[in-house]
Amino acid sequence: MLVVENIHAYYGQSHVIQNVSLTVEQGELVCLLGRNGAGKSTTLKSIMGLVPAREGKILFQGRDITAMPTYDISAQGLCLVPEHRGIFRLLTVEENLRLAENKKSQWSLKDIYRIFPRLHERRRNSGANLSGGEQQMLAIGRAMMNSPKLLILDEPVEGLAPVIVEEIVAQLKLIRTSGVAVLLVEQNLEVCMQLADRHYIIEGGRIVYENENAVFMADTSVKDKYLSVGAAD
């Protein structure tokens, strides 16, 4: 469904993404792991055309999206929930959701409220009055309203309390069961191992590891090598 082939991306002269390749199949949940500064967010931004790849190719459902502007990429069905969730603080939860409404979406407001009961409870609250976890749920809910074929999440549980993390993991499982493909950037290994079909690890802008979840879970040395020092908690 998504094929990233040997892409290179830069900030000015700084060569941040070096020959990155990865794939996400229909219905798959794929994790991209790596330490701070490894190039995870930039990879996502390159896929979305925000930091365009200068070399290499990105295909989505067979179509070349490498050089497309971001709005065209979104229109293909790719949806990024960025690190800083982009909630409209002066709008209510429900207004935030309705803004993203897309007639084509298989997800109605009711579906979103079923998956995220807290958003239903808080539907008349303004974005500014939500906790971090609720903001994240709203950001994901809003992305779902927009009818994504591939949902791309950048560290959705970072900084959230364990009980909220569990709630969001359960919600992502539900979303995933519906057949939406997910590309997840996350540093919380526990979360990744609960959700992912496959993992990639990026280090210094290069993919250094790729494996199925079962193999990854059993492989402690790879975690020590690439993800240790605080990345696991």
Ligand X SMILES: Nc1ncnc2c1ncn2[C@@H]1O[C@H](COP(=O)(O)OP(=O)(O)O)[C@@H](O)[C@H]1O
Binding residues for ligand X, per CB under 6 A?
11, 14, 16, 34, 36-42
Confirm if 100 and 146 have CB atoms less than 8 A apart. yes
Query: Whole-number minimum distance, CB 29 to ligand X, in Å?
Result: 19
Confirm if 127 and 92 have CB atoms less than 8 A apart. yes
Query: Whole-number minimum distance, CB 16 to Mg ion, in Å?
Result: 11
Contacted entry of Mg ion, ligand X, none for residue 135, CB cut-off 5 to 8 Å set by kind: none
Contacted entry of ligand X, Mg ion, none for residue 39, CB cut-off 5 to 8 Å set by kind: ligand X
Which one of 38-46, 109-117, 175-183, 208-216 is the stretch in contact with Mg ion (CB under 5 A)?
A: 38-46
Q: Does 66 bind Mg ion (CB under 5 A)?
A: no
Query: Whole-number minimum distance, CB 88 to ligand X, in Å?
Result: 24
Residue carrying the six token digits 């690890």: 201
Which one of 32-40, 127-135, 137-145, 193-201 is the stretch in contact with Mg ion (CB under 5 A)?
A: 32-40
92, two tokens: 């209510």
Cα separation, 150 vs 152, whole angstroms:
6
| 88 vs 226, beta carbon nearer ligand X | 226
Confirm if 17 and 170 have CB atoms less than 8 A apart. no
Cα separation, 208 vs 186, whole angstroms:
16
| 40 vs 122, beta carbon nearer Mg ion | 40
Using CB under 5 A as the binding rule, the residues of this chain from 40 to 59 that contact Mg ion are: 40-41
Residue carrying the six token digits 């896929």: 47
Each residue 91-110 as x (binds Mg ion by CB under 5 A) or -, in order, gives: --------------------
Cα separation, 158 vs 139, whole angstroms:
14
205 Rama class: left (phi>0) / alpha (psi -120 to 50) / beta = left
Residue carrying the six token digits 């579906």: 111
| 123 vs 206, beta carbon nearer ligand X | 206
DSSP E strand stretches across 29-187:
29-33, 55-60, 63-64, 78-81, 150-154, 181-185
| 34 vs 49, beta carbon nearer ligand X | 34
> Which position's Cβ is nearest Mg ion?
41
| Contact set with Mg ion (CB under 5 A) | 40-41
